[in-house]
Amino acid sequence: MSGTDRDPEVEAEADLDAETEATAEGGDEPLLAVEGLRTTFETDAGTLVAVDGIDFTVSEGETVCLVGESGSGKTVATESITRLVDSPPGHIEGRVRFRGHDLLAMDAEAIRSVRGPGIAHVFQNPQDALNHCYTVGWQIVEAIRVHEDVSEAAARARAVELLDRVGIANPSARFDDYPHEFSGGQKQRVMIAVALAGDPDLLVADEPTTALDVTVQARILELLSELQAEFGMGVLFVTHDLGVVAEIADRVVVMYAGKVMERGSVLDVFERPSHPYTRALLSCLPGRGNEVTGIEGSLPDPTAPPEGCRFAPRCEHAIGACRRGEQPPETELTEGHGVSCVFYRDGRDPSVVRGNGNGNGSGDGSDAETKRRDASRNGSRSADASTPGTGGAEGSDGG
């Protein structure tokens, strides 16, 4: 499963709670630390690399956004964390440390105990994410009772409470209703209730608002941030919607073709976008000119990624060095702001890719602030950064 050279037995035997406390005392390790995560799928067309060695962390109570076009591997990356990816055909390598435990090395039972109380997921499409044959109450109760030995009645009481908390009116009556009796937004609220049932430390929300009506999106986002504060969860938020990112993120990780292109605080990314890809994404925002065409070209074939920089085939600044070797190593511009582009290395001039001084973070705060406002105002409407050619659902990532 994990495919790493660490002995899974040793990890699995460790007592989760004891060690959690130990690390909590240790203090300095983030809630979730992903290192060199690489997820591949065996397909008839060959080995498909969906996530190709990415690193990122999520700290307690922090919101991290994974951003990128559809097909860039964001969903696979999040689902690899708790090993929701079926294997075979999937294959996950690297390290995913959650409160100090390597999730990839755990046995099946141990990872199940993490799913729910440790890390909970909310998925993109609430329509299909709930089982149509069971009442919503049943599905929340299941989430509770799978992990905790509580009575039916107690679980029910808690489920009603959760339904109430996520904003379902008249929760005890709605408990026995089936998913089809709820609207899309309500369903997503139920999904959130399911996720909250285990009182998780980390909530992984994979495009939770994409399938919803525009007016509903905002309320769900609101709810999520309320809950985050209330439950003190870390949130790993996947989206291709820069507007959403601008609104909720503490830190942003920009992904392209299974690789991290740029990372940094939300200010870093919006005010000082440094990577050509990030800049291309931002320029697609309404009012910035490119919203109709998006970014020229399409994502590379995941079974045969190009040499050098993954973005090179579409990058207007690409030079010979971009097409050689591996993805350029990340260059740390400032504390926590990294970028993977040759122009930040080997003495090249980064201003080439930053262009016109635009976004050249030195003092042009008002411009950056505008950009961020624009993003948050319009993003929810049409900031889909995917190109016309690749506009598939996110679910097709690495499928």
Partner 1 sequence: MGLPRYVAARVVWAAVVSLVIVTITFGLMAAAPNPAVQEAATQAALEGGDPEEAVERERELRGLDEPLHVRYADFLRGVYTLNWGWSDLQNRPVSEALSEALFYTAQYSVPWTVLTLLIGPLIGVYSAANMYSWRDHLATGVAFFGYAIPNFFFGIILLLLFGVYLEWIPVVYNTDVAVFSLENARQLAIPVFVLVTGSIGAIMRVSRNESAEFRNADFMKTAKAKGVSPLRAYAYHVMRPTMVPLSTTVVGQLLAIFLGSSLLVEVVFGIPGLGRLTFDALIAQDTNLVLGTTLLFTFVAVVGNLIEDIVFTVLDPRISYDDR
Kindly list the residues in this chain that would bind ligand SF4 in the complex (CB under 6 A): 275-276, 309, 311-312, 315, 317-318, 322, 328, 341-343, 353
CB of residue 322 vs ligand SF4: minimum separation in angstroms? 3
Residue identified by tokens 């299941």 is 142
Q: How far is the first Cα of the chain from the last one, in angstroms, to the nearest whole number?
A: 18
H helical segments located in the chain: 8-13, 16-26, 74-81, 108-114, 126-129, 136-145, 152-165, 171-174, 184-196, 214-231, 242-248, 266-271, 276-283, 351-354, 365-382
Q: Which two tokens stand for residue 374?
A: 């624009």
Strands laid side by side in the 202-206 sheet: 119-122, 202-206, 234-239, 63-67, 251-256, 259-265, 337-339, 331-334
137 or 300, CB closer to partner 1? 137
Cα 248 from Cα 214, distance rounded (Å): 16
> Binding partner of residue 143 among partner 1, ligand SF4, none, CB under 5 to 8 Å per kind?
partner 1
Binding string to partner 1 for residues 135 to 154, with x set by CB under 8 A, is what? Answer: x---x--xx--xx-------
Selected from 73, 94, 117, 361, the binder of partner 1 by CB under 8 A is 117
Phi then psi for 121, rounded to 5 degrees? -115, 145
What is the CB neighbour count within 10 angstroms for residue 138?
A: 16
> Binding partner of residue 51 among partner 1, ligand SF4, none, CB under 5 to 8 Å per kind?
none
> Binding partner of residue 332 among ligand SF4, partner 1, none, CB under 5 to 8 Å per kind?
none
Instruction: Return the C-alpha torsion angle 95, 301, 393, 82, nearest 10.
Output: -10
Binding string to partner 1 for residues 247 to 286, with x set by CB under 8 A, is what? Answer: ----------------------------------------
65 or 315, CB closer to ligand SF4? 315
197 or 280, CB closer to ligand SF4? 280
95 or 323, CB closer to ligand SF4? 323
Q: Which two tokens stand for residue 121?
A: 């997921």
Cα 232 from Cα 226, distance rounded (Å): 10
> Binding partner of residue 328 among partner 1, ligand SF4, none, CB under 5 to 8 Å per kind?
ligand SF4
CB of residue 392 vs partner 1: minimum separation in angstroms? 16
Q: Which two tokens stand for residue 213?
A: 């009506």
185 or 338, CB closer to ligand SF4? 338
SS3 84: coil
> Binding partner of residue 257 among partner 1, ligand SF4, none, CB under 5 to 8 Å per kind?
none
Q: Which of 118, 86, 92, 84 is nearest to 16 (CA)?
A: 118
202 or 353, CB closer to ligand SF4? 353
Question: Could you tell me which residues are beta bridge partners of residue 101?
Answer: 98
Strands laid side by side in the 101-102 sheet: 46-58, 32-43, 90-98, 101-102
CB of residue 140 vs partner 1: minimum separation in angstroms? 9
Binding string to partner 1 for residues 96 to 115, with x set by CB under 8 A, is what? Answer: ----------------xxxx
Contact 31, 63 (CB under 8 A): no
Q: Residues in contact with partner 1, total (CB under 8 A)? A: 33
For the chain, give percent helix, strand, coil, nearest 5. Answer: 40, 20, 40
Using CA of residue 317, residue 321, residue 323, residue 327, what is the dihedral sign? Answer: negative
Q: Within positions 197 to 216, which residues make up the interface with partner 1, using CB under 8 A?
A: 197-198
Q: Within positions 118 to 137, which residues make up the interface with partner 1, using CB under 8 A?
A: 120-121, 123, 125, 128-135
Q: Within positions 53 to 82, which residues make up the interface with partner 1, using CB under 8 A?
A: 79, 82
> Binding partner of residue 322 among ligand SF4, partner 1, none, CB under 5 to 8 Å per kind?
ligand SF4
116 or 328, CB closer to ligand SF4? 328
Binding site for partner 1 (CB under 8 A): 79, 82, 84, 112-117, 120-121, 123, 125, 128-135, 139, 142-143, 146-147, 178, 180, 191, 194-195, 197-198
